[in-house]
Amino acid sequence: MALHWLVQVFLWCLSLVTISSSSSSSSSSSSRKCQSICGNISIPYPFGMGQDPTCFINDQSFFNISCNESFTPPKALLGGQEVLDISLQGQLRIKFPIGWDCYSKSGNRTSYFPGFPFEIDRTPYTFSNTRNRFTAIGCDTQAYVTGYPFQDLYGRLDFRFGCLSSCWNTASVINGSCTGIGCCQSVIPADLKVFDVEIKSFNDHTDVWRFNPCSYAFFVDQDFNLNFSVSDLSYTSFRDRNEQVPVVLDWVVVWNKTCQEATRNKTDYACLSQNSECSDSTNGPGYRCNCSAGYQGNPYVPGGCKDIDECKDKKTHNCKQMCINMPGDYHCKGREGYHGDGWNNGTGCTAVAYAKEFPVLKVILGTGLSLLFLLIASTWTYWFWRKRRSMKLKEKFFQQNGGLMLQQKISTRRSDTFKIFTIEELESATNNYCASRIVGQGGFGIVYKGVLLNNRVVAIKKSKLVDASQIDQFINELDILSQVNHRNVVKLLGCCLEDQVPILVYEFISNGTLYYHIHEAGHFPSISLENRLRIAAEIAEALLICILLLQCQSFIGILMADFGVSRLVPIDHTEITTLVTGTWGYLDPECLQTGKLTDKSDVYSFGVVLLELLTGEKAVCLNRSQDDRNLATYFVRVMKENRLFQVLEERVRSETSAEQLMAIAQLALRCLKLNGEKRPTMKEVVVDLQRLRGFQNHHTVRDQETEKLLCETSQDCTEDTDGQYSTGSHFDISLTLSR
Ligand SMILES: *[C@@H]1O[C@H](CO)[C@@H](O)[C@H](O)[C@H]1NC(C)=O
Ligand SMILES: *[C@@H]1O[C@H](CO)[C@@H](O)[C@H](O)[C@H]1NC(C)=O
Ligand SMILES: *[C@@H]1O[C@H](CO)[C@@H](O)[C@H](O)[C@H]1NC(C)=O
Ligand SMILES: *[C@@H]1O[C@H](CO)[C@@H](O)[C@H](O)[C@H]1NC(C)=O
Ligand SMILES: *[C@@H]1O[C@H](CO)[C@@H](O)[C@H](O)[C@H]1NC(C)=O
Ligand SMILES: *[C@@H]1O[C@H](CO)[C@@H](O)[C@H](O)[C@H]1NC(C)=O
Ligand SMILES: *[C@@H]1O[C@H](CO)[C@@H](O)[C@H](O)[C@H]1NC(C)=O
Ligand SMILES: *[C@@H]1O[C@H](CO)[C@@H](O)[C@H](O)[C@H]1NC(C)=O
Ligand SMILES: *[C@@H]1O[C@H](CO)[C@@H](O)[C@H](O)[C@H]1NC(C)=O
Ligand SMILES: *[C@@H]1O[C@H](CO)[C@@H](O)[C@H](O)[C@H]1NC(C)=O
Ligand SMILES: *[C@@H]1O[C@H](CO)[C@@H](O)[C@H](O)[C@H]1NC(C)=O
């Protein structure tokens, strides 16, 4: 007998709720304080629980879940049926009872329960066609589902589906197999909304009543382990145990609108979250919402769809190396030095083959920049190194040249113009020792004209040689000389000890050197005898001062105002030949033998200068015959030959008496005595000169005294008056910086 019925329990349930609460529609809110958990089942919006209508979507009646806390765990109920879980993807698992059809031994029906092929038309729910099976159990059983046409509303045609199961004894039943022997299953169509379930039998179970008095029929989740066995055929099986089986329902959020309709008038649009999409149900009418690709969460709640950080999990991204999350998306990237799209399913990441893809521009640029950097760095380093080295060198020279000692000495003075110059100061003063600045090239070095920063013009003497062993003495003399303040002595302004050889700075005398005036200025205007004598007297005075004050022993030194430097030149027999030519003609011949300069050496040198003043001849002149090249030697011979007046300078000869000239010549001869001890002291020379300047008496040209002097001046006075002076005849002289 066919059972054809339409149970509206579920619908009734739902409509009841609908009526009771249709007035209270409200917009959903993501900030609801709504209970969303029942037991261990989460109840996501649009589903809700409790009285608060804002916890439901507009059609709250369909989504009203009640939670019966009297069970442990509490049971979530929808329309009185236990809900197992709810998925926002549009599924809901719910427990439904099974239907049965039971007979007596004689074949009379004893009980019938259709389970619940209940009406779910006009609700958001549809049996999931993909996840449910229609199942029948029994050995004399036919079970059908018949759909009814509701053409008016949906334009559907009626349909029927079901399965048939039969068996003659339990032996033929295979435990766990639902393939038509005692158990059968059927897939179900989509859009299953309005239908009836029919359970039928061919022989009212009369043939199988022994072991199978009932037929059962139900929808069930295909994943449910039915575990069909022979015992399920017995009378006491499903029915007695009041077994319920899980069923999967598809749900939509709005059952009577399509997405097109819903988005046209968004007033009631249910997809409230950004990054959500509307999709029409593929199983019946209505639409549901879904988060857009790359987002997850609840599309029915504003802001419910959250970006998926695909990069968090290796399984959710498809990148070979680096994954970069983006809103709703992610990118793949290869590491530095790799190329390819970075995707596992794409070209992946392969190490860059440099030969293939040589980044010419990059390399050129990189190399260029590196080189530039290197160049700058090395230049700087070199400059720094040089500066450091030169500083160290300067320091070394400074110490070597007695700078510390000098500093100490200077510091004890009260006020002083003497200054220790830096090498840079002198370099800038002389325009880096420019050749055009050279004002003299003396025996001991080169003299430059320099301009200091304060515009003071100075003479800067760069020595050529230095004797390190005499530094202490040199510094002493430098110290003393710098304190000499005499009109006849060139003022020593300072020195620089930072160079290999000491550099001396003097006041600059612009009037020209004595050498210049005697030998180079020509005869016009020639210097008067009076002036010559004055010059001689002043030189002698200066020397005297020098000797008295400083025990200076070198006339050459004071004459050239660089006696300090002269001390640095070792005066001994081996070195003498290398001695610069400048001082040669003035050098005490005795000194050549002893290697020692004494006060009397200065007297000798002065004698030579006096001769120069008298004769206008140079101390050493290559124009004279070889024996006469040395002026001193030459003069002694001239005196011997009584030819004084032939060698005197013209103006000198004409300006005074022969007596005075003879007296001057005699003074010169005395100074030039070979034996230093027989020479007058400097003081005597000064006194003599003073006397001579006032000399008026006339004497014979060649008197006894002169003869005696001549004798003493000659080397072999007693034996050979023709004895010759052989020393110093090959040298030229240049006087610098003397007055
Ligand atoms: C809820 O708990 C029951 C038993 O405690 C368990 O069988 C079921 O799988 C749980 N459901 C969920 C959704 O966790
Ligand atoms: C939901 O259903 C329960 C009864 O099952 C009812 O008490 C409650 O008021 C309903 N909620 C709403 C918002 O209608
Ligand atoms: C909960 O379930 C129990 C047992 O089925 C029932 O007695 C009770 O009334 C239910 N409570 C609610 C609030 O529905
Ligand atoms: C079975 O039903 C028939 C009529 O439908 C009736 O006559 C008969 O008495 C019933 N048998 C039993 C055992 O109830
Ligand atoms: C299936 O049923 C049999 C007996 O009815 C039972 O022994 C067995 O454990 C069940 N298997 C499962 C997986 O439930
Ligand atoms: C099938 O299961 C029943 C219990 O449910 C058992 O008694 C029977 O022996 C089983 N049959 C086979 C073939 O395993
Ligand atoms: C859709 O259903 C709701 C109730 O669920 C009803 O209020 C509304 O009028 C229906 N709309 C249409 C177009 O049928
Ligand atoms: C949108 O629908 C609401 C009711 O659902 C209605 O009041 C409103 O007029 C509609 N708007 C348009 C533009 O159709
Ligand atoms: C919703 O989106 C996810 C991923 O974006 C997809 O897997 C799922 O099938 C979609 N569901 C529906 C109902 O469109
Ligand atoms: C690789 O897979 C992603 C999705 O995982 C897809 O978006 C992309 O287009 C695929 N790329 C290729 C080259 O197939
Ligand atoms: C040397 O003699 C030459 C001619 O013989 C003459 O030109 C020159 O000026 C002389 N030099 C000196 C310094 O007298």
Q: Which residue has the higher pLDDT, 3 or 257?
A: 257
CATH code of the domain in which 436 resides: 3.30.200.20
In a domain, 215, yes or no: yes
613 pLDDT band, cuts 50/70/90, is: confident
> Are residues 201 and 241 located together in one domain of the fold?
yes
Give the number of the ligand closest to the Cα of residue 294: 9
Distance 40 CA to ligand 1 centre (A): 6
Cα(281) to centroid of ligand 9, in Å?
12
Query: Higher-confidence residue: 232 or 467?
Result: 232
Please say if the pLDDT value at position 706 is more than 80: no
Distance CA 251, CA 1 (A): 34
13 belongs to a structural domain: yes
Q: Both 57 and 137 in a single domain?
A: no
pLDDT confidence tier of residue 722, bands split at 50, 70 and 90: very low
| Distance (Å) from CA 623 to ligand 11 centroid | 6
- Pocket test residue of 15, 55, 64 for ligand 2, highest count of atoms within 8 A of CB: 64
The per-residue pLDDT for 157 is 58
Final residue before a domain boundary, out of 35, 63, 88: 88
Q: Tell me the two tokens of residue 666.
A: 């005699």
Which of 63-67, 239-243, 271-275 bottoms out in mean pLDDT, i.e. has the lowest? Answer: 239-243
Mean pLDDT, rounded, for 549-575: 39
**Listed range (280-284, 443-447, 676-680) with the worst mean pLDDT:** 443-447
Task: Choose the residue to mutate in 181, 227, 230 for probing ligand 6, maximizing ligand atoms within 8 Å of C-beta.
Answer: 230
Q: In a mutational test of the pocket of ligand 4, which residue from 108, 110, 205, 206 has the highest number of ligand atoms less than 8 Å from its CB?
A: 108
Whether 256 is in the pocket of ligand 7, judged by its Cβ within 6 Å, is yes
Give kind and range of the element (H or E) at residue 163.
strand 159-166
pLDDT tops 50 at residue 20: no
What are the distances in angstroms from CA 385 to CA 135, 400, 565, 666? 97, 22, 32, 63
Residue 343 beta carbon below 6 angstroms from any ligand 10 atom: yes
Assigned domain for 199 exists: yes
Q: Between the CA atoms of 238, 240, 242 and 245, what dihedral angle is there, to the nearest 10 degrees?
A: -10
Preceding amide of 53 cis, omega within 30 = no
Query: Is residue 603 very low, low, confident or very high in pLDDT (cuts 50, 70, 90)?
Result: confident
Q: Tell me whether residue 4 is in a domain.
A: no
Residue with CA nearest ligand 5 atom 13: 227
- DSSP label at 516? I
Residue 583: per-residue pLDDT: 60
User: Residues 197, 340: one domain?
Assistant: no
What pLDDT does residue 590 have? 80
pLDDT of 5: 31
Lowest mean pLDDT segment, chosen from 66-80, 235-249, 634-648: 235-249
Q: Among the listed ranges 83-97, 208-222, 456-470, which one has the minimum average pLDDT value?
A: 456-470
| DSSP string for residues in 558-612 | HHTT-HHHHHTS--SHHHHTTS-GGGGGGS-HHHHHH----HHHHHHHHHHHHHH
pLDDT of residue 489: 64
Which of 51, 61, 63 for mutating ligand 2's site (highest number of atoms within 8 Å of CB)?
A: 51
Determine the pLDDT at residue 727. 23
Q: Is the pLDDT of residue 700 over 60?
A: no
Model confidence pLDDT, tens digit, residues 193-205: 878 888 999 999 9
Residue 28: pLDDT band by 50, 70, 90 thresholds? very low
59 lines ligand 7 (CB under 6 A): yes
Which atom of ligand 6 approaches the CA of 232 most closely?
A: 5
Classify residue 233 by its DSSP letter.
G
- Is the CB of 539 inside a 6 Å radius of any atom of ligand 11? no
Q: Are residues 27 and 112 in the same domain?
A: no
Instruction: Confirm whether 368 is domain-assigned.
Output: no
Mean pLDDT (whole number) for 86-110: 91
3-state helix, strand, coil in the chain (%, to 5): 35, 20, 45
**CA torsion, ordered 425, 428, 429, 431, to nearest 10 deg:** 150
Q: How confident is the model over 599-628, as a mean pLDDT?
A: 82
When pLDDT is averaged across residues 220-230 and rounded to a whole number, the result is 89
Ligand 11 atom closest to the Cα of residue 621 is 13
How many independent structural domains does the chain possess?
6
Q: What is the band of 557 on the pLDDT scale with cuts at 50, 70, 90?
A: very low
Q: Percentage of the chain surpassing pLDDT 90?
A: 20
Domain end marker among 478, 507, 536: 507
| Extended beta strands in 370-421, E state | 419-420
Q: What pLDDT, on a 0 to 100 scale, did the predictor assign at position 651? A: 83
- Do 45 and 83 belong together in one domain? yes
Say yes or no: 475 and 573 in one domain. Answer: no
Q: Ligand 4 centre from 104 Cα, in Å?
A: 10
- In a domain? residue 424: yes
Q: What is the pLDDT of residue 14?
A: 38
Question: Of the bound ligands, which one is closest to the alpha carbon of residue 624?
Answer: 11
64 lines ligand 2 (CB under 6 A): yes
Q: What percent of the chain lies above the pLDDT cut of 70?
A: 75
Determine, yes or no, domain membership for 730: no
Ligand 2 neighbour 139 (Cβ under 6 A): no
Residue 139 has pLDDT above 70, yes or no: yes
Residue 207: alpha-carbon gap to chain centroid: 97
Higher pLDDT, 4 or 71: 71
Taking 60 as the threshold, does the pLDDT of residue 720 lie above it?
no
pLDDT digits (tens, 9 = 90+) for 148-177: 755 445 555 578 899 999 999 889 999 888
CB 638 within 8 A of CB 647: yes
Contacts of 160 (CB under 8 A, 6+ apart): 144, 145, 146, 147
User: Per-residue pLDDT tens for 449-491?
Assistant: 889 888 888 888 887 666 677 777 777 777 777 776 666 667 7
Helix and strand numbers, DSSP H then E, in the chain: 21, 31
Q: What is the pLDDT of residues 493-531, one digit of tens each?
A: 888 888 888 888 888 776 666 666 667 655 556 778 888
Regarding whether 264 and 231 lie in a shared domain, the answer is no
CA 678 to chain CA centroid, nearest Å: 81
CA 225 to ligand 5 centroid distance, Å: 9
DSSP 404: H
Query: How confident is residue 728, by pLDDT bands cut at 50, 70 and 90?
Result: very low
Binding site residues, as ranges? 462
Res. 550: pLDDT tops 70: no
Would you call 690 exposed, middle or buried from its count of C-beta atoms within 10 A (0-12, 13-18, 19+)? middle
Ligand 9 close to Cβ of residue 607 (< 6 A): no
Kindly tell me if the per-residue pLDDT of 10 is higher than 50: no
Same domain, 608 and 500: no
Residues 530, 457: one domain? no
Rounded Cα distance between 588 and 300, Å, is 123
Are residues 325 and 273 part of one domain? no
Confidence of residue 369 (pLDDT cuts 50, 70, 90): very high
Q: Give mean pLDDT, residues 635-659.
A: 87
256 CA from centroid of ligand 7 (Å): 6
Ligand 4 atom nearest residue 104's Cα: 13
Residue 345 Cβ < 6 Å to ligand 10? yes
Q: Is the same domain home to 571 and 677? A: yes
Q: How confident is the model at residue 376 (pLDDT cuts 50, 70, 90)?
A: very high
Q: Which ligand is nearest to the CA of 733?
A: 11
Q: What is the mean pLDDT of residues 75-82?
A: 89
Q: How far is the CA of 74 from the centre of ligand 2 (A)?
A: 17
Q: Which atom of ligand 3 is nearest to the CA of 77?
A: 14
Mean pLDDT of 620-627: 79
Give the residue-averaged pLDDT of 120-145: 91
Q: Domain residues for 187?
A: 97-249
CATH number at residue 704: 1.10.510.10
Helix (H) or strand (E) segment spanning residue 60:
helix 60-63
Instruction: Please indicate whether residue 528 or residue 554 has the higher confidence score (pLDDT).
Output: 528
Look at 220 and 471; give whichever has higher pLDDT. 220
Residues contacting 118, CB < 8 A, separation 6+: 7, 8, 9, 10, 11
What is the Å distance from ligand 6's center to 175 Cα?
6
Pick from 650, 686, 663, 722: which is nearest to 488 by CA?
Answer: 686
Q: Is 621 in the pocket of ligand 11 (CB under 6 A)?
A: yes
Task: Report pLDDT for 416.
Answer: 65
Kindly tell me if the per-residue pLDDT of 676 is higher than 80: yes
Q: Ligand 4: which residues within 6 Å by Cβ?
A: 106, 108
Highest mean pLDDT among 162-176, 440-454, 544-558: 162-176
Higher per-residue pLDDT: 703 or 543:
543
The first and second tokens of residue 53, run together, are: 């209508």
pLDDT band at 434 (very low <50, low <70, confident <90, very high): confident
pLDDT at 137: 93
Shared domain check, 685 and 544: yes
Mean per-residue pLDDT of the chain = 76
For atom 14 of ligand 8, the residue with the nearest CA is 265
- Does pLDDT of 239 surpass 60? no
Q: How far apart are CA 306 and CA 402, in angstroms?
A: 85
What is the average per-residue pLDDT within 229-236? 82
Whether 175 maps to a domain, the answer reads: yes
- Binding site for ATP: residue ranges? 462
Least confident window among 24-38, 71-85, 365-379, 694-708:
694-708
- Whether omega before 149 lies within 30 degrees of 0, making that bond cis, reads no
Is the pLDDT score of 279 beyond 90? yes
pLDDT score, position 289:
93
Query: Is the distance from the beta carbon of residue 347 to the nearest atom of ligand 10 less than 6 Å?
Result: no
Backbone angles phi, psi at 592, to 5 degrees: -65, -30
Pocket residue to mutate for ligand 3, from 64, 70, 78, 81, most atoms within 8 A of Cβ = 70
From ligand 1's centre to the CA of 46, what distance in Å? 22
